[in-house]
Each structure stands twice: as C-alpha cells, then as structure tokens.
Amino acid sequence: MTRTLRVLLPLASLLLLAAARSPQAGPGSGKDRAEVVLSRPGAVAYAIAIHGGAGVISKRLPEAEKREYVRSLEAALRLGQEALAAGGSSLDAVEKVVRFLEDDPKFNAGKGAVYTHDGTHEMDAAIMRGRDLACGAVAGVTTVKNPISLARLVMERTSHVLLVGPGAERFADAMKVPREPNAYFDTPKRYKEWQEALEKERRKAAGSGETHGTVGAVALDRHGDLAAATSTGGTTGKRYGRVGDSPIVGAGTYADNRTCAISATGAGEEFIRHAVAHDISALMEYGGLTLQQAADRVIHGKLKPGDGGVIGVARDGSIALVFNSEGMFRGAADAGGRFEVKIWE
Amino acid sequence: MTRTLRVLLPLASLLLLAAARSPQAGPGSGKDRAEVVLSRPGAVAYAIAIHGGAGVISKRLPEAEKREYVRSLEAALRLGQEALAAGGSSLDAVEKVVRFLEDDPKFNAGKGAVYTHDGTHEMDAAIMRGRDLACGAVAGVTTVKNPISLARLVMERTSHVLLVGPGAERFADAMKVPREPNAYFDTPKRYKEWQEALEKERRKAAGSGETHGTVGAVALDRHGDLAAATSTGGTTGKRYGRVGDSPIVGAGTYADNRTCAISATGAGEEFIRHAVAHDISALMEYGGLTLQQAADRVIHGKLKPGDGGVIGVARDGSIALVFNSEGMFRGAADAGGRFEVKIWE
C-alpha cells in the first residue's frame, strides 16, 4: 500500500462511519421509518420483531377474524418479549415465538401449513445465531410437528446446515423429535385454498393475489446477540419438491452480530435470487446504511411490488418492518416500552 | 444531512474508490494474483474459469493420475472456450462444461459422485444467469444423469428456483430428462473412500483431510452476460439428506451482471453461513473492491484455512481463482489468449 493510501484509508473509513451513524445521512432519508434506536449509553436493550406472512390481505377481513390474528400475534410477541426481558437468549426467544406460530392453525407453518399440489404438506424452516453464524435448516419435511425446533437441532447436533426430505425425518427420529401423521397439518381454510388453486390450474388462470403465511421472528438479547428464525408451509399447490427462501440461509433467514437479523416472507424465488436477507446485511456492512435504509433499498428498490417483506433487528436494537405487499402480519417490541401489532399500512 | 457530512461523504467515497482501484491496496496485497483485465476499449472479450474441487490434494499424486486430471480439465476448458469464442452464451458454456465434468468419473459430480453414509448417491446442482438473476437448482437427486441440466430446466420451465428429493425426480420425468439407476454413479475410487469413511466412523476418528471434488464453471460471454454453474455429489458418508452449498444460490453459486459470477467448492456449511458467493458480489457492489480483492477478503479473511475456494469472472472479464486449501483443480481461459490449468500453488 502506498504511503498516501496508508494515511487516507483510515480517514475515509472514519468519515464513512460518521456518515453511517448520522441518523439523517444516506439513501432512504425522508421515507417513513419505523426505526427506533434503543442503545442508550448504559442501557442494556433488547428488541424483537415477528411476522405471520405478507401478501394480499383484504381490508374487508371480518372484524372477528382480524381480532383473532391480532390476538395471536400479540401472544407470540409477548412470549418473545418476556423471554428477552428475563435475560434469555435471542435464539431461545425466536424459536419459542416461531413454535407458537407453528402451532397456531391460522398461519402457514406447522399446523395450518398449506397443501401441495398432491394434497400433502411439505414444510421448511431455518434458524440462525448472529454471534458465530451458526445455523440449521430443514426442507421438505412432512411429519415434524415443529420444523423450527428440528432446524435448531440440525444447528446444534450436526456438522451440517441443511437437511432435506426423508433424510430430515430420519434425523428427527434419531433426535426423538415429535412427529405427526401428515394429516395433522390439515385445516379447512388451507383445504379450501388448495381446491381453489386446483380449480385455477384447470382453468389455467393466473395464480395471483396469494397470501403468503410464512412466520418468522428476529431478536436482539441483553447479551448483544442477534438471532433469526423462519418457518413455512410454502406455497399452495407447489409441486416437485419445491423449496422456497425460508430455509435458505442468506435468502429468507440471516443473522450476523456485526449487522442485523432478518426473516423474510413473500414470493420465495425472488427472495432467493436477490439473496435478500444477506443483501440487507451486506448493505449495512459494506454500504454503511442503517437497517431501515438497507431494508428499504432491497424491498422497494430491488424487488417488485407485491413480492413481500422482511422484519429485521439491528445490532443497535433498531427494528425495521418493511414490505411492498398490501399487508404483512407483524409485531415489534423492545426494552423501551414499544409493543405493537399491525396488519396493514 | 449536516453540512459537514455533505462535504466529507463524497471525499470519503473518492478516497475509498482510489484505494480499491489501486492494484496494491486493500486485503490480499502482495499475494499472488491471477487477475487479468480483458475489457480493452472496443474489444469484445470473453472469459471462463472452471474448477474440479478443492481440498487436500497430495503433491505425491502419481504422475499418470495428475496427467489424467490435467487432460480432463483442459478438455472441459476448451469446450467452454470454443463455445464462448463462437459467440455462444455464457449460460450454454457453463452448462456444457459442467455436464462434461459430471460425465467424467474422476470428479465428485454425476458419474463419480461420492457415496452417502448408506452407500447411495445424492447429488446437488445450481445454475444462474447474471443478466436477470434467473436461477435453478436441484438437491438430493439420485437418478438424474446430469443434475446441472435438470437445474437449468428448473430455471427455464418452472416458476421455482429449488426442487429437492423425489419431487425433483418426478420433474425430471415430466421433462423427459435421462435418468440412470443409482448404481450408475458407483465408481471404485469413491467406493474405497466410503469404506474408509465408515471405518473412520467406527474408530470415531476425525474425518479431516477430505478432498472435495465438486465441479463448477463461470463465464462472461461476448454479449456481456455472466453465468455460473456448480454440481456435486456432496461429502462422503453424508447422512440424513444433507445438502451443501452448491445448490444454494448465494452460497456456492451466484451470478449478477453488475458484479461477477462465482462457483465455490469446499466445506459447504462454511460457505452457506458466510453466503460466500453473494458476499463476494456484495463486496464488489457496495465495497468497491475488485473481484480479486473481494474473493481474497472472503476466502482468506472470513473462512478458515482448508475450507476451500472459489472461481470467479467479473463483468470486466477479469478472472479470480482463490483457495485456502492445499490445492484446487482449476482452469482459466480468455479472449486474450490465456489458457491454463493448475492443481497446486
């Protein structure tokens, strides 16, 4: 390195760092933002965000049904918040939240997973810890009651990251993880959606306007560790062992203590080709953007309207909830007293 | 933005840009580098790089065996070079090269794929086009003669990116893709490695020193389009439907016309957690690094020694061949007359 560069490079880095830290600098300025910086000097912050899927969510959703969704999201958010407030790890918190949403038949993950083309259920999940980039994922499992917990076992008990299909079920047996017959995942609502999808296929109608019900959670704990978790039944009528972005580390799920934790929901293939979760992390790490700016850039600048959204928590405890679809079931809570659940706007 | 920042930010950017463009600045300085810039004004360049795996490759490899490897790599490289020289697309070139290496029993992909713990073969592959980020991948296929061509069909004939397991085989049937009984993939060399792996497991010995024989190709064509392709049999003795980085877009395979095309080989789980292929692209896009600098930063700065390596071609036609293992079977050719195949150093 030349002498000049040896002097100028650290200077440049310092300037960029200062710019990145300035709350008003950089792209995305002026946009509406949900960002709250929690890391007051001396305060030990925590933060959590959750989602229950993004897509076309009709604003004419019956009031009773809407209340049901809000109640479930609030209960899930409170579970995670309480775990974090008590000093629990972000990894435990996001697993706990996602398990809760998997067991809730309203969401497309675990009980309530959508139907494949053939009328079965194939589920995917991933979990990641930002401290050491440890991660685990499963794809195409058909009998595992809580795929997110199997993903965590892949992370903690194997040297692998991703197990798929019947092999993942054999691993579940080896780990004595609860399994259910595939019919356990049947629900009337998803059955109706499947029938409609088959009918559309017969009429060769476009399959637009789909609601993606993937669930996910991201959190920062009092120890400064980030974690992310995502679980899904995929898309109604999917064929040929299709796997989306949820179990793909870097696409639907990512966590790195140097930047942020991300969980995505939406048109999985778009999230894979844009490596959405890792791209947001990279924009923070190399581009000096805040989480909100990075998420805005990727969701509004790279994806197409309607593709979906992400939830994220940054290392400083700021939260971003960004989507380009009509709605996203979501919630956010932090040590500063924030506790909110929303569907639209 | 404050007035000070408004002045300092562009200055910082300029300094960083200068540093990135200085051939001696940044990480990896002083290291041996294989970078050649081909894009002379007016010249329509092409470039291609290939690999046949990285890992512990003994320098006491018998001379005859070494010549065999070199001959195969040269033949594969020539296939790709000729396709590109004739004006063919980078996508066709990388598929053709990888098919050739899949059919060669010396490499761990297609014919010659390693054995799973249970004595079968499970293969993964991915292909990606940099022009529009179109991509396709398959994982855990057991009877498809050329997984890379099935991955291309996923890209071109479905709205999906990744198909796994028996579903992917059903898709192969629907596409009338050649299938073979699983025993077609048996080879004496891989059988011996499997037996040794089982013996090691019985003695609970560490499974170190593995050669990863994954194959891959990346190319820039005369139209300015980048493409990447990777195909593998995974790791010897793998269990429970383990899938590595090769079919994971963003980890083992990535291509974006704005930056580069990357194919990786090595300890797949590390490449997934670091999102290696996308990380190199992001370092170029957001960090202003050259391909060589970005690949050096990730392979030597983020991964552990012995993890493996990557091949890459940048949008300007420069080539990077970077690994932190003892060796990597590799080759590079371009419109400027470069044509070389190497194993060590």
Question: What are the pLDDT digits (tens) for B130-151?
Answer: 999 999 999 999 999 999 999 9
Sign of CA dihedral B141, B143, B145, B149: negative
B173 CB neighbours in chain A (<8 A) are none
Cα gap A322→A310, rounded to integer Å: 6
B247-283 pLDDT, tens digit per residue, is 999 999 999 999 999 999 999 999 999 999 999 999 9
Chain A positions touching B240 (Cβ under 8 A) are 158, 160, 163, 167-168, 170-171, 174
| Contact residues for A12 (Cβ-Cβ < 8 A; gap 6+) | B11, B12, B13, B15, B16, B19
The whole-chain average pLDDT of chain A stands at 88
**Integer Cα distance of B115 and B125 in angstroms:** 16
pLDDT of residue A38: 44
For residue A253, what is the nearest residue in chain B, using CA coordinates?
Answer: B273
| Chain A 266-295, residues with CB within 8 Å of chain B CB atoms | 268-269, 272-275, 278-279, 282-283, 285-287
Averaged pLDDT, A89-96: 98
Q: Place domain B46-342 in its CATH homologous superfamily.
A: (Glycosyl)asparaginase (3.60.20.30)
Whole-angstrom distance, CA of residue A182 vs CA of residue B143: 26
C-alpha Rg value of chain B to the nearest Å: 20
The span from the CA of A313 to the CA of B154, in Å, is 34
Distances in Å between the Cα of B311 and the Cα atoms of A83, B47, B257, B301 are 44, 12, 16, 16
Task: Report helix, strand or coil for A220.
Answer: strand
Confidence band for B215, pLDDT divided at 50, 70 and 90: very high
For residue A248, the chain B residues in CB contact (below 8 A) are 162, 248-250
Please indicate whether residue B214 is annotated as part of the active site.
Answer: yes
Look at residue B145 and give its three-state secondary structure: coil
| Chain B from 199 to 238: CB within 8 A of any A CB | 238
According to DSSP, the residues that pair with B34 across neighbouring strands are none
Mean pLDDT lowest for which of A153-157, B207-211, B329-333? B207-211
- Please write the tens of the pLDDT for every residue from A223-234: 999 999 999 999
Q: How confident is the model at residue B13 (pLDDT cuts 50, 70, 90)?
A: very low
Average pLDDT over residues B202-218: 75
State the CB neighbour count (10 A cutoff) for residue B316.
16
pLDDT digit string, tens, across residues A179-212: 999 999 999 999 999 999 999 888 876 554 466 6
CB contact under 8 A, A8 and B2: no
Q: Count CA within 13 A, CB hemisphere, residue A50.
A: 34
Supply B215's token pair: 């194959």
pLDDT of residue A36 exceeding 60, the answer is no
Q: How many CB pairs under 8 A join A and B?
A: 201
The answer on pLDDT for A20 being more than 90 is no
